[in-house]
Amino acid sequence: MTIEHFDDGKKGSFKATDGETEAGLMTYVWAGEEKFIIEHTVGNPAFKGIGMKLLDKAVAFAREKGVKIIPLCPFAKKMFDRKEEIRDVLA
């Protein structure tokens, strides 16, 4: 399983693949220089837990850059509500 991060300065994504198979995708857009908005998460049902793996990468990226996350995606919002340990990057 590989998770690649793409960012063009305006929008970005975290894409998980297993060989040639797409396991999941999380997309975001920047809201200024200090925050990004997670817009959408989709996971291949064959890859249980992939959404959380993508969110973990997004949280690690936010911590590394010293930025905050606005979770508009229902999945990401639910995970921020459930997991206190990732709320340090919540905008």
32-53 tens-digit pLDDT = 999 999 999 999 999 999 999 9
Which residue, among 61, 69, 15, has the nearest Cα to 38 in the 3D structure?
A: 69
Report pLDDT for 83: 97
Host domain of residue 27: 2-89
Report pLDDT for 39: 98
Rounded to whole angstroms, the Cα distance separating 63 from 73 reads: 19
Kindly report the CATH number assigned to the domain that includes residue 82.
Answer: 3.40.630.30
CA distances from 23 to 2, 4, 47, 85 (A): 9, 11, 6, 25
Average pLDDT over residues 56-74: 98
| pLDDT band, very low/low/confident/very high, at 27 (cuts 50, 70, 90) | very high
Domain count, the chain: 1
Rounded to whole angstroms, the Cα distance separating 68 from 33 reads: 10
Phi first, then psi: what are they for 37, rounded to 5°?
A: -105, 120
Average pLDDT, the chain: 97
